[in-house]
Chains A and B, each alone.
Chain A
Amino acid sequence: MMAARGPVLAIMILAIAALGTATFFMRSTGDATTESSSSSAQTSSTAVATFLAGAATTEFEPLRGEWTLSLPRDHGAHLEARAETWSVTAHLVASTGEKFDLSLSFARYGIIPPNEAAEMSTWTVSEIYAGQFLVFEGSEGTGHTEHRFSRGAGTAGHDLETREIWLDEWNIVYGEGAGDEGIRLRASGVNVLIDLLLEPRKPALAASDEATATTRGFSMPRLAVSGAIRTPSDEFDVSGRAWLDRLWGDVPVPGGPIAYDRLTLQLSDGTDMSVIQTRRIGREGAATVDGVLVDEAGRAAYLDDDALDIRSCKSVA
């Protein structure tokens, strides 16, 4: 049975993007040995723990007022939100046949609310940026992984005028191209660099029907991708498809007892699907399953437990 479009469902689907970030910050306050792989990350890792230890007591007001999705503006930062995430997964094929899958995520975490930050020294850390860039190359999925942290202060930030969010040399530029709908991604790791243009092929799905929701965001279930991937040995012209999640506002409780399994699927008939299974850590009790199926024309059907049967077939250690 099709479920009514529910704000809770939609939020859960999107909130997974923020979950990891929130959990990381909680972990960091007690463990400053988190790995990092860039020079800025190494200096920031300890700093993240220090600043966020104090941030736990900082009050950000829940988002208030009515909200409706506004693009391209809502690709940009929302400083009034305590946390926000940008997340893209893409599946690409080179003109020469090579296959690439990638995931690029940015998170911005507010330490000091903007109205208080304005009164403080420029040395005061008011926000933290984190990024994760994963590329899986070839049919066996040989991986490249890169992580970044920044306390902002120029090395990471956002600009509503230039429509950019950046973290070191990684950036997202939105409002590009025809109709201001394009999104350009640039990111690099030790052995891989991407420069991609994403163009939506289906309407964005708002995270909530509620104009007063305190967690806001949207998904773009299919974007056409074109651009280049460079490795030490080659440069590939690539094309393919992507899924984008965007979320800001309240995020799940850090280190909470809830775990998630999430699949985003993009099919050859034009269908896109997101399925999320929610369960308690330790696997006690029944899991719940929610999903959204978006047909080729962009029509979304929200599916609940009664309409979805999901089961794992194989596990690896």
Chain B
Amino acid sequence: MTGGGSYPVSWQVRGEGFDLTATASTEDARQEFLAPMWLGPVAVEGEMDGAAVRGSGMLLLTGYEDIQ
């Protein structure tokens, strides 16, 4: 049921006082359980209130599968 698709696995998130980039630690995180989705960890780097920060996170992507 799960089609192909292209998953955006790196994101830039910006707002007042912050500029962060979250990049998937693995590109192989397609899940076919509840619904087709991409769910996997990200590593974060960037700035928050003028200081360098890093971090970890999780990315969930839905709706990128080819329409069957």
Contact = CB atoms under 8 A, between A and B. Distances in A.
A312 B54 CA distance: 18
A132 B34 contact: yes
A310 B10 CA distance: 10
A301 to B, nearest CB: 9
Contact of B29 (A27, A141, A317): A141
A130 B33 CA distance: 10
Interface in B43-68: 44, 48-49, 51, 53-64, 67
B15 A261 contact: no
Contact of A31 (B1, B5, B13, B23): B1
A132 B35 CA distance: 12
A33 B32 CA distance: 11
Nearest to B55: A267
Given A139-B25, A308-B14, A309-B15, A266 B34 contact: no
Contacts of A268: 53-55
B9 A267 contact: no
Interface string A236-268: 000001010000000000000011111111111
A265 B7 CA distance: 19
A311 B12 CA distance: 5
The range of chain B's interface size is: 35 or more
Contacts of B34: 20-21, 23-24, 107, 130, 132
A268 B67 CA distance: 39
B25 A136 contact: yes
A51 to B, nearest CB: 16
Interface string A12-50: 000010011101100100010111000000000000000
A258 B35 CA distance: 13
A142 B14 CA distance: 29
Nearest to A100: B41
A140 interface: yes
Interface in A253-311: 258-269, 271, 273, 275, 279, 281-282, 291, 293, 303, 307-311
A105 B12 CA distance: 26
Interface of A is mostly: strand
B60 A279 contact: no
B25 A101 contact: yes
A301 B57 CA distance: 19
Nearest to A258: B63
A313 interface: yes
A261 B8 contact: yes
A312 B35 contact: no
A223 to B, nearest CB: 14
Contacts of A307: 15-16
Q: Which of B10, B20, B58, B63 has the most CB of A within 10 A?
A: B58
Contacts of A101: 25, 40-41, 56, 58
Contact of A312 (B11, B37, B48, B55): B11
9 contacts: A19-B62, A31-B1, A34-B33, A91-B56, A143-B40, A261-B59, A269-B53, A293-B15, A315-B7
Interface of A: 16, 19-21, 23-24, 27, 31, 33-35, 89, 91, 101, 103, 107, 130, 132, 134, 136, 139-143, 145, 147, 241, 243, 258-269, 271, 273, 275, 279, 281-282, 291, 293, 303, 307-317
Interface of B: 1, 4-16, 18, 20-29, 31-35, 37, 39-42, 44, 48-49, 51, 53-64, 67
